[in-house]
Structure 1
């Protein structure tokens, strides 16, 4: 309920026009400036000066008082003439008012009305003159908006009637009537009477509230849609993982396939990744068919020559057969670039021959790949940068431009799994040399400076290649490296049979005849110092032995039996006796006594 009882009262007959309101306000002001009216004071208190707890709306909340207290004559009603003895009536009070029938005076013989409970006689003392129009307007401006402005007749004697209270009672009666029509008990009040009519709200406030509600609905809708999509996606992915929707098990049936194709499998690829690559190249029909056929069997990465549209089981069988590998080359320690024939009649394919064989493939009747000649030509003529030569070997390689042997020893002995058969000869050599340099660095070869033996990185690589070709046992590598370093230190010719065999047409550990006198850069019987290039592929054990050989005064060594037993000495006479032992065991035949 709205406590502002001034709402809806402009039409009430007790209010009058604007001028009357201003005059009434001035009248109240003058009365408040004078002496307090005991009767009014008694009206607004309990009679003993204590404030009334009921406020100004007190006709219904006036507590009982002493029955013997004097009674106040009832206030006159709005529109009634002033009571007898009223000292003053505001000018123009009757202007603009509706006429009302004159009040009938009580008969003289009638007994006086009993006094109102808690009220004393009305003090009809002097009243201040009315305020000027200027003061009335000022009082009106200072009055709060919608403030309750009782009529001046409230101060007059007679029965008090509160128009605001009347309006409130009227609304309550209407609410009770509506509640009774809606089914509420007749006479119900308060909460039992049902809700009162809702107050009108500001249009601006209602529009803002509607916009806020609309925004909340939009935000909530977006959040709900996002959560539904997120939960649905996670659930779908999980159901696919557990196989709820079923797996794609399609598979081909033609074991012969339809065409040749080269497929590359990258390093560290999972079996599922294998299946995806084969499916993309139309080798198998589905990933699940391939993984099921593989059954967890390990398959190496690299290049494969396969057939398209073959059963998954056929694809697995082809990939586990090394004959279908393309670009896979195994280079053992000590292997040279060129193919060599041994004294026993066996031919050892060189690095160039092995690379050419591994990368040459027949695809649907057309052969592709590189040849030995193309590789040798690229090694002899391409720049060190094109070949991927490391900086510590660039000068030595440049010095032998035109000779394919200038890259000897720069390709490390290992299993090369993925030489791309579609590359050119220069690209293949670049791939092998650049990755070999990384391997050498991992094995401890520095990129600059010298080792503990005062050898540069390239000289260390050359020394290691000689060590690897001279003896068969890795435990002898450090002592052989020390012999080479000691001979270099005293400017003694190395006189290593392995360096002579490097340029020989027939490889023979027992060098004889013209090989001793061959005028080549690699003949250490004729040339002092190290050969111009390594004489084979250098492995990690020989390289580590050459980087830091053990201390010792050895200058000579010789293998004395077929098991590779090697004897070391610093005395030449002892060396000759050791050599005779090798002759006696059939290891050597040249210069035997």
Structure 2
């Protein structure tokens, strides 16, 4: 091979090497770019995941979740419980967040939380031993209101009209759905022939916090029924021991709620009602007359007592067909634990004080003394 050929061969090899180097460099660049892209995507995904894990699971959720924190639980185990209950997205992130905030003194106990709670609200709850959330608005329903009266409260406090509220509580499909969800509270008795409103008396009077600006109307009503379900079933053993159905129990308590003028007298008035029921004596309680009339009056007249209505306990023996108002806890309690008396009569004087009597003669004497 002459020199010229050797030189040409060397040039060709150099060209090949340069081409190979370029290819290698391109491959290295592509691989490096791929790694950077994967790293960037991974970092973005990780960042997005962590960011979402620091947010409430479902900001619009109102569903309550029972969370039990056992004695001796540390941050790690508490974080795991919260993840299992769906309150937080990632146990490890909640744990690190709590440590970053230097929070670790959490209290054991039973909590009712929601998926709408922020991590700070969860931490505050676990520190104080109670659920901590700032409601957007609260709705207060006093004891002893009828559905018609609750409708006016709803109209005043929300954007819903009284008519919309009454339409919802009397909607057949809605009532059936509530009966399906709360079968121990809402039995077929609420659909009785003489029942004015099926859900009358079954919306628990309380102050309710709401965490959205405009909760659906059926959610507001559902919340109140759910609360009544919780409270009433606490007394299940008590009213069953008295051979009462849940409907009779709520009805009895509603009569007591409307008749009692002082909380200290509820147990004694309850004893009067029970004593009358035992001897088949009409309850003769004025609030049932007003409910029969469908109007509020400062004074019940003798002619009012003659109103022909199933709810009028002057004309009909026994309990009314259903509740006449929403009873509060004190009336439900008194219905289970009445005083032990022989009283069959009572009246309230002009100052609202009740006076009891065992006989009709004693009652007439009280009338002369405190009314006339």
Query: What's the TM-score, normalizing by structure 2?
Result: 0.60
Structure 2 CA distance for partners of 1:238 and 1:409, relative to 1, 3 Å: closer
Rounded Cα–Cα distance in structure 2 between residues aligned with 1:239 and 1:514: 73
Q: CA deviation at 1:436?
A: 2.0
Matches within 5 A, 1:246-395: 266=117, 270=121, 301-303=134-136, 325=137, 328-338=138-148, 350-360=149-159, 370-383=160-173, 384-387=175-178, 388-395=181-188
The answer to whether the 8 A contact 2:284-2:314 is kept is yes
The answer to whether the 8 A contact 1:481-1:549 is kept is yes
Rounded Cα–Cα distance in structure 2 between residues aligned with 1:271 and 1:568: 52
Structure 2 CA distance for partners of 1:266 and 1:432, relative to 1, 3 Å: farther
Q: Which residue of the partner structure matches residue 410 of structure 1?
A: 202
Q: Which residue of the partner structure matches residue 399 of structure 1?
A: 192
Q: Identify the match of residue 525 of structure 1 among 303, 306, 314.
A: 314
What are the superposed Cα offsets for residues 157-208 of structure 1, whole Å, 9 maximum, x if unpaired? Answer: xxxxxxxxxxxxxxxxxxxxxxxxxxxxxxxxxxxxxxxxxxxxxxxxxxxx
The answer to whether the 8 A contact 1:494-1:525 is kept is yes
Q: Identify the match of residue 431 of structure 1 among 223, 226, 230.
A: 223
Structure 2 CA distance for partners of 1:267 and 1:358, relative to 1, 3 Å: farther
Rounded Cα–Cα distance in structure 1 between residues aligned with 2:209 and 2:170: 25
- Structure number with the bigger relative contact order (C-alpha 8 A, sep ≥ 6) is 2
SS, match of residue 247 in structure 2? helix
The answer to whether the 8 A contact 2:134-2:211 is kept is no
What are the superposed Cα offsets for residues 196-223 of structure 1, whole Å, 9 maximum, x if unpaired? Answer: xxxxxxxxxxxxxxxxxxxxxxxxxxxx
Rounded Cα–Cα distance in structure 2 between residues aligned with 1:418 and 1:535: 27
What are the superposed Cα offsets for residues 509-553 of structure 1, whole Å, 9 maximum, x if unpaired? Answer: 531043211111211111111011212221111111111212221
Q: Which residue of the partner structure matches residue 17 of structure 1?
A: none
The answer to whether the 8 A contact 2:267-2:338 is kept is yes
> Is 1:459 aligned to 2:258, yes or no?
no
Q: CA deviation at 1:426?
A: 3.3
Q: Which residue of the partner structure matches residue 492 of structure 1?
A: 281
Root mean square deviation of aligned Cα: 3.5
Rounded Cα–Cα distance in structure 2 between residues aligned with 1:237 and 1:546: 49
> Is 1:572 aligned to 2:364, yes or no?
no
The answer to whether the 8 A contact 1:266-1:301 is kept is no
The answer to whether the 8 A contact 1:382-1:426 is kept is no
Structure 2 CA distance for partners of 1:267 and 1:558, relative to 1, 3 Å: farther
SS, match of residue 154 in structure 2? helix
Rounded Cα–Cα distance in structure 2 between residues aligned with 1:433 and 1:240: 41
The answer to whether the 8 A contact 2:250-2:332 is kept is yes
Q: Which residue of the partner structure matches residue 556 of structure 1?
A: 345
Q: CA deviation at 1:479?
A: 1.1
Structure 2 CA distance for partners of 1:478 and 1:240, relative to 1, 3 Å: closer
Structure 2 CA distance for partners of 1:269 and 1:465, relative to 1, 3 Å: farther
> Is 1:474 aligned to 2:263, yes or no?
yes
User: Gaps spanning 5+ residues in structure 2: where?
Assistant: 1-95, 103-114, 126-131
Rounded Cα–Cα distance in structure 1 between residues aligned with 2:284 and 2:195: 27
Structure 2 CA distance for partners of 1:359 and 1:241, relative to 1, 3 Å: same
Structure 2 CA distance for partners of 1:419 and 1:572, relative to 1, 3 Å: farther
Rounded Cα–Cα distance in structure 2 between residues aligned with 1:525 and 1:412: 27
Structure 1 runs, 4 residues or longer, greater than 6 Å off = 236-240, 271-274
Rounded Cα–Cα distance in structure 2 between residues aligned with 1:530 and 1:393: 18
The answer to whether the 8 A contact 2:194-2:321 is kept is no
Matches within 5 A, 1:191-202: none
Structure 2 CA distance for partners of 1:392 and 1:505, relative to 1, 3 Å: closer
The answer to whether the 8 A contact 2:283-2:318 is kept is yes
What are the superposed Cα offsets for residues 302-321 of structure 1, whole Å, 9 maximum, x if unpaired? Answer: 22xxxxxxxxxxxxxxxxxx
Q: CA deviation at 1:560?
A: 2.2
Rounded Cα–Cα distance in structure 2 between residues aligned with 1:536 and 1:240: 51
Structure 2 CA distance for partners of 1:273 and 1:502, relative to 1, 3 Å: same
Q: Which residue of the partner structure matches residue 225 of structure 1?
A: none
Q: CA deviation at 1:484?
A: 0.7
Q: CA deviation at 1:555?
A: 0.5
SS, match of residue 416 in structure 1? strand
Q: Which residue of the partner structure matches residue 342 of structure 1?
A: none
Structure 2 CA distance for partners of 1:272 and 1:515, relative to 1, 3 Å: same
The answer to whether the 8 A contact 1:470-1:498 is kept is yes
SS, match of residue 507 in structure 1? coil
The answer to whether the 8 A contact 2:151-2:165 is kept is yes
Q: Which residue of the partner structure matches residue 14 of structure 2?
A: none
SS, match of residue 531 in structure 1? coil
The answer to whether the 8 A contact 1:268-1:301 is kept is no
Q: Which residue of the partner structure matches residue 503 of structure 1?
A: 292
Q: Identify the structure with the greater helix proportion.
A: 2
